[in-house]
Amino acid sequence: MGTMKRFDAGFMRYKTRGVVFPPSIDYPDLSTLHADATGITADCSIGTIPLRAQDQPVPLEHKARFVYVTGWAIDQVAHRPAGGIHVVIDDTFIPVFIGARRDDIARAFSNPDYCHCGFVVAVPVTLIGPGSHHISVLFLNARRTAYSAFPFSAVVQIPGAR
């Protein structure tokens, strides 16, 4: 899986739109897991743009202060929310808290256990830097024994210094 780099936890102090990053997320080291989590179903976006394999870079507004990645993930084998999420920016792995309320997903899959399967992360652009950056998402199964990389990836274009 290549060299893994943990994101500087200093960004956790940011608070935006009522979302407070937890001080620490105890996820397993991905290098110890299998890359074959089956049963994961998920969807995510950068801002309002669905995160799929994009042909063109996703431009951020010049005044943007954060890159927002939002979505949901469930483990249909375990019938529970996914066990965790990592947003990967270039070669930096950012563990993301999963647990935002998503009643729409619980209704769509007729499983009330899925109601806390959402996630939101707001990464300050000042910590990413200007230029083109590859963003992807990894999902842990509910038991946190395997992960799945979906074709959720895009290049985000962050404007230069203001």
- Report the run of H or E that residue 96 belongs to, with start and end: strand 92-96
pTM over 0.85: no
Please say if the pLDDT value at position 22 is more than 70. no
Secondary-structure class of domain 5-24+33-158 per CATH: mainly beta
| pLDDT tens digits for range 60-102 | 777 788 888 899 999 999 999 999 888 888 888 888 889 999 9
* C-alpha Rg value of the chain to the nearest Å: 15
The β-bridge relationship of strands 84-89 and 92-96 is: antiparallel
Could you tell me where the beta strands, DSSP code E, fall in 61-146? 66-75, 80-81, 84-89, 92-96, 98-100, 118-124, 131-140
Structure tokens at 93: 């792995």
